[in-house]
Amino acid sequence: MKKNLLILMLLATTGSIFAQQQMKPEETEDWSKQPPIVNPGRPGQPPSDAIILYRGPQDAVNWVHENGTSIKWITDTSLTVTARSGGIKTVRSFGDCQLHIEWRSPSVVSGTGQGRGNSGVFLMGKYELQVLDSYNNETYYNGQAGSIYKQFIPLVNASRRPGEWQSYDVIFMAPRFNPEGQLLSPAYFTVFHNGVLIQNHVGLRGPTEYIGIPVYKAHEDKLPISLQDHGNPVSFRNIWIREL
């Protein structure tokens, strides 16, 4: 029995090797879809097919407050939270995307835990990638910088010192729902913090909630990205996005 199996395996292997030898190299070449050309730009610059969301005061028009009014945040070379003016969101809506965003918590450290340099990047206005000064600042781990708030602890803490610019590079996949509103696939995040992988294709349990267990509710394919006003003067700059 064992011997027969061995012979069969041997035949199968020699068979596939024989088939390999019969094939031409061209038979496994794929010419079906030429990748479009993208100029990656110089280091630190957005690629040529990116949509610019903020690079300077002229880009303030890309943002409004949650209630639709024009923004009261400080708009110069960076975008800085004006405490208690409310969160802001993009005018345009996005679903699956690659997002680059740089942020800086205040150099003058005040507060502890969640009160220190807190903001957030909300994909689709619902799924928060936490922004926090997590340099020598302990809080619950699924609430520190780079966490998917209260759902996923970052793989490592790649935080820079307060007052230094930091970057998030995000691959986000929007959740999918069927026409009846049932979840087909969850929202996924992959995130690099200062170039270091901190979230590796994590599937969310629902919107990121401050209190309670997350539950999905069907929503649009595309929604604005929002930035949180948590009362701390966190700054953002060089924000660009590529739709996927």
Site for Mg ion in 193-232 (CB under 5 A): 228
103 vs 240 by CB, closer to Mg ion: 103
**Beta bridge pairs of residue 120:** 130
* 3-class DSSP assignment, residue 81: coil
50 vs 135 by CB, closer to Mg ion: 135
Binding mask 103-142 for Mg ion (x = CB under 5 A): ---------------x-x----------------------
50 vs 204 by CB, closer to Mg ion: 204
90 vs 134 by CB, closer to Mg ion: 134
**Closest distance of CB 228 from Mg ion, Å:** 5
Q: Which contacts qualify for 131-136: CB closer than 8 Å, 24 or more apart? A: 131/103, 131/105, 131/228, 131/234, 132/105, 133/105, 133/106, 133/109, 133/159, 133/162, 134/159, 135/159, 135/160, 135/161, 135/162
Distances in whole angstroms, Cα of residue 225 to Cα of each of 1, 52, 94, 197: 63, 13, 7, 22
**Closest distance of CB 237 from Mg ion, Å:** 18
**Closest distance of CB 132 from Mg ion, Å:** 7
Site size for Mg ion, by CB under 5 A? Answer: 3
Nearest by Cα to 124 from 25, 241, 41: 241
**Closest distance of CB 135 from Mg ion, Å:** 16
In the complex, which residues of this chain contact Mg ion (CB under 5 A)? 118, 120, 228
